[in-house]
Amino acid sequence: MNIVFLDRSTFPDHIDIPSPQVTHSWTSYDETDPAMVVDRLAQADIVVTNKVVLNAQVLAQCPTVKMVAVTATGVNNVDLEYCRSKNIAVANVSGYAANTVAEHILSFMFSLSRNQPSFLQDQRQSGWQQATQFCRFVAPIRDLKNQVIGIVGSGAIGSALGEKCSALGMQVHFAERPGADEIRSGKIAFDDLLAVADFVALCCPLAENNYHLMGAEQFSHMKSSAFLINTSRGPLVNEADLVAAIQGQQIAGAALDVAEQEPLSASSPLNALTQQPNFILTPHIAWASDSAMNRLLAGVMNNIENFVNGHRDQFLV
């Protein structure tokens, strides 16, 4: 089998990429420009990709490809309908990052509720050295206990976050899908969740029906003391509306690990917030603890081995 990894640099250098326990030829590229994809897959049987787009136009020019192994959970960069029509197996890895993303969200929540960016910024300006008392009060501090977390998405990550927040003594609510005719057991209406939550955490995949799930209307339903957290996909949030909501003090702030355009564009509306202490932006690394990446890559290799050994019924994604 000829295996080609198109974007190895989506993992840091200190993370070893294991080799599948099958006879293979393995070629790895740090990055692959869209114009180079077809050439690099000219003789490939299996393509490994994280974010390189494999649409119908590209795959139609790669007739030897029999499997796409995605080094992620999301597969929105792969044309699944085309793969289905051509019997190309597509395999992802789910659940590997549930704990680490939930922990990242918790770190956001602790930082925002305790106003840590304000205190850190003050200390960089030698604020404590100028204090006349043993402590220095810069901004209010809130405990997480008894606060309300509204979680949008009840999959592995949302469920893990709910468990951790419950253990901290928070009130945990899961949102029903916006516009749903019925409210399922254990969930509350989306708009009702926005109205009561101190934190709204987006833990859902991006789909056609939730593009810009959070926009001006949704921010107007939130409490002025509430925070938005998004570690899922950037297009779930209308970034211009988020900037307006924070600058207009409609909501207290936000923490994001994703953006509509990645890497972050120089023209992104989010750049207007990056110096504000009530806004935190990390570069899409909530999933990327060492242990999570090792689990992910082990899962990718397991998928490849199962495919090569003829266990193909579990694919297509």
**Which amino acids are annotated catalytic?**
233, 262, 284
C-alpha to C-alpha distance for 144 and 147, rounded to whole angstroms: 5
CB contact at 8 A, 289 and 281: no
